[in-house]
Amino acid sequence: MEQSIKLSVDAVVFGYESGTISVLLIKRKYNPFKGKWAIPGGFVLNDESLEEAVERELREETGVQINYLEQLYTFGNPKRDPRGRIISVAYFGLVHPNAFKIYASTDAEEVHWFKINELPELSFDHKEILDLAISRLQSKITYEPLGFELLDEKFPFSDLEKLYTTLLGRAIDRRNFRKKILKLNVLDELSEKVSKGSGRPANLFKFNEKRYFQLKKDGIVFDI
């Protein structure tokens, strides 16, 4: 029997800002699921790689351009798409929403950031895709330091703590967390200080870009 399979890509883009995690969704302009919310994505063209396809679809449908998205999983349930047998390779990434001006285009009617605990009903099997992406993100931060793309260039250490507690969805041992992060040697402590609330002024930090990306490349596991 001759195969009749099409290949698509989907992009789960998380945004982090001020202690809130959101996900970028589009409202579909055409059937199936016309007028319903979905993860950005579409079919892979004959002459492009998977990475080129997911970056193009994300850019065309939302205006967001990300140079690196990590492959999440391949979804191939025969009944996942009413149009026929369509396999989707899903990707995910994490950005600062303010870094982009989002706009709907091509087959997207609207584009919007939704808080991950206030999501609309999703099309296709996109809830399954999103749930897996959230789980992967939470496990990812136990072996790879995050924050370079999400925090201001200079930030108090408390902002990094807040990022991790938000991503993990739970409290952390602050003293132990600080000790382990500083031991990674990816932060430079600055002489500049910032005042927050009624407490003592706190020193600002910045990521050492060279050491940070080398550590991400090498890979490391640190129990938070």
Question: Which ranges in the chain belong to alpha helices (H)?
Answer: 50-62, 126-140, 157-168, 174-183, 209-218
Q: Are residues 186 and 135 in the same domain?
A: no
pLDDT tens-digit readout, 148-174: 888 889 999 999 999 999 988 889 999
Alpha-helical segments (H) within 65-190 = 126-140, 157-168, 174-183
Q: Which residue has the higher pLDDT, 170 or 145?
A: 170
What total of structural domains would you count in the chain? Answer: 2
Query: Is it the case that residue 222 has pLDDT exceeding 80?
Result: no
Domain boundary among 94, 110, 140: 140
Closest CA to 89 of 123, 139, 135, 39: 39
Please report whether residue 146 resides in a domain: no
Any idea which residues carry the catalytic annotation? Answer: 110
Q: Which residues contact 209 (CB under 8 A, 6 or more apart)?
A: 148
Same domain for 159 and 132? no
Residue 125 belongs to domain with CATH number: 3.90.79.10
Paired tokens of 215: 């550590």
Cβ count within 10 A of residue 81: 19
Domain residue limits at 123:
6-140
Residue 197 has pLDDT above 70, yes or no: no
84-109 tens-digit pLDDT: 999 999 999 999 898 889 999 888 99
CB neighbours of residue 206 within 10 Å: 17
Report the distance separating Cα 172 and Cα 1, nearest Å.
Answer: 55
Residue 166, C-beta contacts closer than 8 angstroms, at least 6 positions apart: 16, 19, 20, 21
Are 188 and 90 part of one and the same domain? Answer: no
Q: Is residue 145 part of a domain?
A: no
Q: Mean pLDDT across the chain, nearest whole number?
A: 92
In a domain, 73, yes or no: yes
- What does pTM read for this prediction? 0.88
